[in-house]
Amino acid sequence: MARIAYDDEAAAAFEATRHIPDQGLAAWRAAVTRHLDPRPGARVLDLGAGTGRWAAAFTDWYDDLDVIAVEPSAAMRARCVHPRVLPGDAANIPLPDHSVDAAWLSTVIHHVPDLAAAARELRRVVRGGGPVLIRSAFAGRHEAITLFRFFPEAIRVLDTFPSVADVAATFGACGFAVTAFDQIPQTTASSLSECATRLRREAHTPLQLITDDEYAAGLARLHRAARSEHGPVIDALDLLVLR
Ligand SMILES: C[S@@+](CC[C@H](N)C(=O)[O-])C[C@H]1O[C@@H](n2cnc3c(N)ncnc32)[C@H](O)[C@@H]1O
């Protein structure tokens, strides 16, 4: 069970508001290029691919990269912009042993109920030495994410997510070692005003799990700040690489 239901409403909100345009992802593109080794013919698993934004970007960024998306929610799969998407989850990856060169998990790890089972499955499907790239907001690491400035109560939700140490230890028990840990910036919106206008609570797990009053107060703070603060909204999420 994910922390929130990725039903039709959440999937529609995610599709409408969480696709960052390519120009906002330059640093992510560089980081993925550095760690994923996206050579022609390589096969990459996008686990918990959602609406397929990253699978589609990788296909666009790299020649002849074979990207397979796996996603448990039928509503997300129905909106997936990447054609090769299979039902499955982190504990049941519908792929043969040693069948992919790398795996990508973007803002998924906190939804995985059994991290050890996920680590075992990734060990099984990723060919020896291949990287697992985990893009996430980890517990204790809210500082570089704008929404937490306006919705500080959401930090208590973030702090229930796995920490970097939790993930490193659980994956370590399956033979993975951390080879990189970087904070990667992205342009999330062109302005705070755009951010405020487009925000959909259903698209953000930490916002769904605070109270309605906390959400209303945060939204008011965000709209107030948007009247006087201009310029792009730059956030940074973490990239944890294990091999
Ligand atoms: C925040 S969305 C991220 C989607 C996509 N990776 C992205 O970054 O655009 C989280 C996704 O994880 C999926 N998910 C939830 N539980 C999962 C699990 N146990 N294994 C794999 N994916 C899961 C959800 O269905 C949802 O599509």
Determine the distance separating the centroid of ligand 1 and the alpha carbon of 162, expressed in angstroms.
15
Which pLDDT score is estimated for 18?
80
Which pLDDT score is estimated for 99?
98
CA separation, residue 41 to residues 33, 66, 190 (Å): 15, 6, 35
Helix (H) or strand (E) holding 161: none
Which pLDDT score is estimated for 17?
83
Determine the distance separating the centroid of ligand 1 and the alpha carbon of 82, expressed in angstroms.
15
Q: How far apart are CA 187 and CA 178, in angstroms?
A: 26
Which pLDDT score is estimated for 1?
65
Determine the distance separating the centroid of ligand 1 and the alpha carbon of 19, expressed in angstroms.
14
> Counting atoms of ligand 1 from 1, which one is nearest the CA of 19?
9
Determine the distance separating the centroid of ligand 1 and the alpha carbon of 31, expressed in angstroms.
21
Which pLDDT score is estimated for 40?
96
Alpha-helical regions (H) of 132-182: 146-150, 154-158, 164-172
Which pLDDT score is estimated for 80?
96
| Alpha carbon distance, N-terminus to C-terminus of the chain | 27
* Ligand 1 residue neighbourhood (C-beta within 6 Å): 2, 6, 47-50, 53-54, 71-73, 76, 89-90, 106-108, 111-112
Which pLDDT score is estimated for 29?
97
Determine the distance separating the centroid of ligand 1 and the alpha carbon of 89, expressed in angstroms.
9
| Smallest CA separation from ligand 1 atom 10, residue | 108
Which pLDDT score is estimated for 5?
82
Which pLDDT score is estimated for 191?
95
Tell the CATH topology of 8-141+162-187+235-242: Rossmann fold (3.40.50)
Over its length of 243 residues, how does the chain's per-residue pLDDT go in tens digits?
678 789 998 898 888 888 888 889 999 999 999 999 899 999 999 999 999 999 999 999 999 999 999 999 999 999 999 999 999 999 999 999 999 999 999 999 999 999 999 999 999 999 988 999 999 999 999 999 999 999 999 999 999 999 999 999 999 999 999 999 999 999 999 999 999 999 999 989 999 999 999 999 999 999 999 999 999 999 999 999 999
| Smallest CA separation from ligand 1 atom 14, residue | 48
| Smallest CA separation from ligand 1 atom 1, residue | 107
Ligand 1 pocket mutation, candidates 108, 135, 136, criterion most atoms within 8 A of CB: 108
Strands (E), the chain: 43-47, 66-70, 85-86, 102-106, 132-136, 178-189, 233-242
> Counting atoms of ligand 1 from 1, which one is nearest the CA of 205?
1
Determine the distance separating the centroid of ligand 1 and the alpha carbon of 105, expressed in angstroms.
8
DSSP SS3 for 66 = strand
